[in-house]
Structure 1
Amino acid sequence: MSDSEARFHVLRQSAGRRASAVIEAMVLSGSDIELNRINVIEFSSAHSLELDESLDAFLHAAKLGLFDMSWNLLCPGCGGVLSANTSINDIHQHDYPCAICAAGYEPTLDGMVEVTFTVSPRVRQIAAHTPDALPMWDYMQQVYWSSGIQFPPGVPMRELMEKIVVDWMELPAGEKATMSLQLPEGFFIVFDPVTHAAQFLDVQGEPTRERQEVGIVFNAVQAPTGTMKMRPGPLRLTLENRTDARVLPAIYLAGDELHHMLGQRKKFLTARDLLTNQTFRDLFRTDTLEVDQRLKITSLTFVFTDLKASTELYERVGDLVAYDLVRAHFGVLNEVVRRESGAVVKTIGDAVMASFPTPDRGIAAVLGMREAMQALNASRKSEDLLLKIGIHEGPCLAVTLNDRLDYFGQTVNVAARVQGLAVSRAIFATEPIVKHPAVAAMLSAAGLTPVPQRCNLRGIADELTVYQIP
């Protein structure tokens, strides 16, 4: 048995067999492009698998060394990969500039950072492992645009690009070359996907017969994108590569064809989705943020739970029995959180803090928690365990506290304070939760009508509307 076969054998034991079998078959017979920067959401849909099942299998495969994870910062404007990173540690808080869009973007883990999986070169060599050897359009598709753009199926990339590219070249390290062409009226972008350098050419006005000269130097310093006013007519473009790798400059017509292509986006697995996944937190405990690293998430759902009167419980049934009950309660909650694509952030005494990617996942979890606790009590023919639950959604910062991935901000504070309002089996939820369309539909289907009340939460200046879900 080869090393790869042994690893796949372990994968089948540790992850879902269906997803593991599909992944193994793809590694053995899939095309190179299928094995580069795999979009797990697209993979799941294509193979009729549940997303959680596929993600669980890819995470185990990455842990076994079968795949490498990449945390890619995607430009919100053009979908290009502004930075590809092997770890979340490599993502910085500063703005990431996009030369094509002439803008800078502060990274958000749920809007800009995709997580993809590429087969390890130890398992199978694919063309993307040596990107400097990829043909021009393969480089654009597989390296620059990654999995964020939906290209028309069955249309070769070269054929697609010929509609928007006036001319292009491959320029080796240290070399200089020229392009001579006739520029029509329009707005053009001279762009190199390797150095991420760009120059805008605004061509308008009366045509000229005089040759216009433009020179562009590619080096390690990315200068702000500038715009040159030009007239329709002959152009000699001089390009100089002062880097130690080849560059791939091309002249793009910034017209309807380009804008349409860049507007076709695919849903991708975000860093937020990964950080709120229990399998990731279990397998990659050390892959956390640096101590001084704080990254934004624009929307995350938090659930806080606590056992009512747990002190009296220890007094009433004794330490050993109470300890076993509390452990059983943690086991039940962990199972529900994992089932709803969430993750337990931490436990504090008898309390649990959990995160979920969306409000509907969070509300499904809290309803499931309540049912599970009722079942646990019924199995013991007692009402010893009563869970107090609070849920809230909003922006936050992902941070590292006590060597563990954690979250910080007012959203977390509000979620904790809302849980403190609970005194019975009723769930307390904030307005952003109950007004979420998927949550509203879920509660309506369950015959649950949230009851609003105005509350002052400790440490929160403004009065809030909080809903009690009976």
Structure 2
Amino acid sequence: MINLDTTFPKRTAYTSPEREKTVLYQEIHYQWEWDLQSTPEDLWPLVADTNRFDRDSGTPALQILNKDSSSNANLKVRFSKYGFPFEYEQDAFEWTYPRRFGVTRKYTKGVMSALRIQADLEPRAGGGTHLTYQVWATPANILGVLGIPFQIGLIFRRTFGASFLKYDRMVNTGQTTLSTFGKPRLAPGGRARLLTYQNNLLNSGSDPALVTRLIETLEQADDLVASRLRPYELADYWQADRKAVLDLFLRATRAGLLNFRWDILCPLCRTPKSTTAELSTLKPEVHCESCHIDFTANFERSVELTFRPNEAIRVAPALEFCIGGPQNTPHVVYQKLLNAGETTTFPITLEPGRYRLRAMDLSGGQFLYVEPHGVAALDLQPGPDGWPNDEPRLALSPTLTVTNPLDHPHLYLLERMAWSDQSVLAAEVIILQQFRDLFSREALRPGEQISVGSLAVVFTDLRDSTRLYRQIGDAPAFGRVMEHFDLLKQAVAEQNGSIVKTIGDAVMAVFRTPTEAMRAMLSAQIALDNTFKGLLSLKTGIHFGPAIAVTLNERLDYFGTTVNFASRLEKFSEGKDIILSETVYNDPEIQEFLKANGDLFMSEPVTAQLKGFDEKIQLWRVRRG
């Protein structure tokens, strides 16, 4: 069902400093309504993706004029339509998930002086959504008086409706934006190159089914998808193993099918604020023009690896059609500009978990924990000394009252604290053996240091290698040592780690978790026992803690107290055991692993004096039974 209401309720106009008006024109109001089969929650990711919606509805691409925007996320934007230039200043979008969003734009060039948009998604009693979309447009001149009814009242009425109905069909048929394919979009000669690279990937051992999905995506996917491919997001949609899809993307990049880039994400709005094709050009000091903060990027949270087609295959421009819509920051479930002293009350639907209410340009925030038995109503506001330190429990569908007690307007945001797990973060990818093998020259600028969060750091050394050289000679012994490196590398790679460097017979390796490090070292020790029948054994020590990524000898390396500590552990190993720091031994997953395999391992404490550490250290020796 579609209802249409067009009214001319009052005479008004916005007068910008750059553009004086001597004639006032009537504000034109349009209201359209649709009854859709899908729920507001299911429609929201599509309807509130205003960048996609405006593109689908025929809005031209935009150019942002003020990258460093003024307070409360105002933006100045330019575009061209029918040969006419338009410029406007946009207030911050306001929204309440999954019920309402809207925005106001004040024009300084073009045939309009002001435009306001509001969408409401109300659940229907029998299921589905009653969607109301309203537009208020004020002409700036006689061209606007004539053009607004044609462009908005006629064309946009039709294209908006087509977009909403398409999104409803997509939800009902289980489609997503990742499955929105169209006509082939290849560059000249792109198909021949695509087939060549496809054969190269298949010959390298990549999964044929995944290669086919990747080729289909590169050939036919929507530009908004193809311009920023995220391996884990595609893996989840394809119902494929994430590690296998990431491995495919890395191989495809090495083959020339894809290009990767490092996106630096703002810690508040979580959107890319800087992009670089190489780690060597990454600058960790970044400014977010939307949140008005300077921040230092870290590999653990701030740097995401994304991909796009090689332009010799396909050009997928990263165009913007709408700025600052709700799905640009999907972790924000509520956003509203409150004037000085203003209070607003609203109902909202929330998922369980931790949230934070904060105000733009005001440090800190009010933390909230949402659970089924939380309170149904809550009043919130910052105090004279900032936000309260408590963390109230909130119901799943509460009514919130938010007050801005400050003497000037502030943009208030309610955001989920949990980050999406569909990002391939730099801290994860740079420790993969496949990445280090394929992109050995990917390194930071000399002297640059970037936090990677906490890593499991492993140092190993061979026991009895000197005796082996004496017994069988240099050449055969050297061959055995090289074979040991191969076995160790395979065991490390199978547990998502990587060998950072070798020092003689010794190896330094890194992993994301202590359990992965433990499994890899056990596997390596067993492989060495089976291969060398006691001629060689592997001494091993594992520690876990924060580390810093650096470039050393033109390769990615790590340093810090965690690395120094870990490097001193393997000397206490006897070759058929693993020395664990107390941090690793007490890790919950390690404890669970040891208990589950209690008949295979024996653990005993070891008190040791480590070089460079004043006090004696408690370590643990884990022996294989």
Shorter-chain TM-score bucket reads: 0.7 to 0.9
Residue 342 of structure 1, CA deviation: 1.0
- 1:186 and 1:253 in contact (8 A); partners too: no
Residue 278 of structure 1, CA deviation: 1.2
1:63-102, Cα deviation, whole Å (9 max, x unpaired) = 22222212112222331223222222232343x3445545
Which of 228, 236, 254 pairs up with 2:412? 254
C-alpha distance 103-6 of structure 1, shift in aligned 2 (>3 A): same
Which of 315, 319, 326 pairs up with 1:125? 315
Percent of paired sites with the same residue: 29
C-alpha distance 454-106 of structure 1, shift in aligned 2 (>3 A): farther
Residue 372 of structure 1, CA deviation: 1.1
Aligned to 2:522: 367
Q: Equivalent residues in 2 for 1:389-468 (5 A)?
A: 389-447=540-598, 448-468=601-621
Q: Equivalent residues in 2 for 1:234-383 (5 A)?
A: 253-256=411-414, 259-260=415-416, 265-377=420-532, 382-383=533-534
Query: Which whole-Å CA distance do the structure 2 matches of 1:73 and 1:28 have between them?
Result: 27
The answer to whether the aligner puts 1:41 opposite 2:232 as a matched pair is yes
Structure number having the greater helix percentage: 1
C-alpha distance 269-27 of structure 1, shift in aligned 2 (>3 A): same
Which amino acid is 1:56 matched to?
Answer: D
For the residue of structure 1 that corresponds to 2:568, the secondary structure is helix
C-alpha distance 165-29 of structure 1, shift in aligned 2 (>3 A): farther
1:147-187, Cα deviation, whole Å (9 max, x unpaired) = xx569xxxxxxxx9xx7477xxxxxxxxxxxxxx9999269
The answer to whether the aligner puts 1:106 opposite 2:261 as a matched pair is no
Query: Which whole-Å CA distance do the structure 1 matches of 2:442 and 2:195 have between them?
Result: 26
For the residue of structure 2 that corresponds to 1:12, the secondary structure is helix
**What is the TM-score of this pair, normalised by structure 2?**
0.55
- Structure 1, unpaired ranges of 5+: 152-159, 167-180, 188-197, 205-226, 232-251
Query: Which whole-Å CA distance do the structure 2 matches of 1:40 and 1:296 have between them?
Result: 23
- 2:227 and 2:318 in contact (8 A); partners too: no
For the residue of structure 2 that corresponds to 1:460, the secondary structure is coil
For the residue of structure 2 that corresponds to 1:22, the secondary structure is helix
Residue 332 of structure 1, CA deviation: 0.6
Residue 353 of structure 1, CA deviation: 1.1
Residue 130 of structure 1, CA deviation: 4.1
Residue 367 of structure 1, CA deviation: 1.3
The answer to whether the aligner puts 1:136 opposite 2:327 as a matched pair is no
The answer to whether the aligner puts 1:51 opposite 2:242 as a matched pair is yes
Query: Which whole-Å CA distance do the structure 2 matches of 1:165 and 1:123 have between them?
Result: 43
For the residue of structure 1 that corresponds to 2:492, the secondary structure is helix
- 1:299 and 1:396 in contact (8 A); partners too: yes
1:174-219, Cα deviation, whole Å (9 max, x unpaired) = xxxxxxx9999269xxxxxxxxxx878xxx9xxxxxxxxxxxxxxx
Which amino acid is 2:275 matched to?
Answer: A
Q: Which moved more, 1:451-460 or 1:417-426?
A: 451-460
- Greater radius of gyration (CA): 2
1:213-244, Cα deviation, whole Å (9 max, x unpaired) = xxxxxxxxxxxxxx98348xxxxxxxxxxxxx
Which of 305, 317, 321 pairs up with 1:115? 305
**Root-mean-square deviation over aligned CA pairs:** 2.9
1:388-443, Cα deviation, whole Å (9 max, x unpaired) = 01111111221111122111112111111011111231100112222222222222
C-alpha distance 68-348 of structure 1, shift in aligned 2 (>3 A): same
The answer to whether the aligner puts 1:386 opposite 2:537 as a matched pair is yes
C-alpha distance 186-64 of structure 1, shift in aligned 2 (>3 A): farther
Which amino acid is 1:290 matched to?
Answer: R
Query: Which whole-Å CA distance do the structure 1 matches of 2:331 and 2:257 have between them?
Result: 26
1:114-137, Cα deviation, whole Å (9 max, x unpaired) = 1111223332233xx243xx2115
Residue 264 of structure 1, CA deviation: 6.1
Query: Which whole-Å CA distance do the structure 1 matches of 2:447 and 2:501 have between them?
Result: 20
1:281-303, Cα deviation, whole Å (9 max, x unpaired) = 11111221121211112211111
Q: Which moved more, 1:300-309 or 1:114-123?
A: 114-123
C-alpha distance 184-32 of structure 1, shift in aligned 2 (>3 A): farther
Query: Which whole-Å CA distance do the structure 2 matches of 1:402 and 1:451 have between them?
Result: 39
C-alpha distance 404-295 of structure 1, shift in aligned 2 (>3 A): same
For the residue of structure 2 that corresponds to 1:254, the secondary structure is strand
Query: Which whole-Å CA distance do the structure 1 matches of 2:421 and 2:336 have between them?
Result: 23
C-alpha distance 72-228 of structure 1, shift in aligned 2 (>3 A): farther
- 1:56 and 1:279 in contact (8 A); partners too: yes
- 2:458 and 2:540 in contact (8 A); partners too: yes
Query: Which whole-Å CA distance do the structure 1 matches of 2:192 and 2:233 have between them?
Result: 30
Aligned to 1:7: 197
Query: Which whole-Å CA distance do the structure 1 matches of 2:262 and 2:326 have between them?
Result: 17
C-alpha distance 105-186 of structure 1, shift in aligned 2 (>3 A): farther
For the residue of structure 1 that corresponds to 2:490, the secondary structure is helix
For the residue of structure 1 that corresponds to 2:407, the secondary structure is strand
For the residue of structure 1 that corresponds to 2:527, the secondary structure is helix
Structure number having the greater strand percentage: 2
Which amino acid is 1:292 matched to?
Answer: G
Query: Which whole-Å CA distance do the structure 2 matches of 1:26 and 1:297 have between them?
Result: 32
- 2:459 and 2:540 in contact (8 A); partners too: yes
For the residue of structure 2 that corresponds to 1:27, the secondary structure is helix
Residue 274 of structure 1, CA deviation: 1.4
Give the number of equivalent residue pairs.
374
C-alpha distance 438-48 of structure 1, shift in aligned 2 (>3 A): farther
Query: Which whole-Å CA distance do the structure 1 matches of 2:587 and 2:292 have between them?
Result: 35
- 1:12 and 1:21 in contact (8 A); partners too: no
C-alpha distance 368-87 of structure 1, shift in aligned 2 (>3 A): same
- 2:427 and 2:453 in contact (8 A); partners too: no
C-alpha distance 403-182 of structure 1, shift in aligned 2 (>3 A): closer
Which amino acid is 1:113 matched to?
Answer: V
- 2:339 and 2:408 in contact (8 A); partners too: no
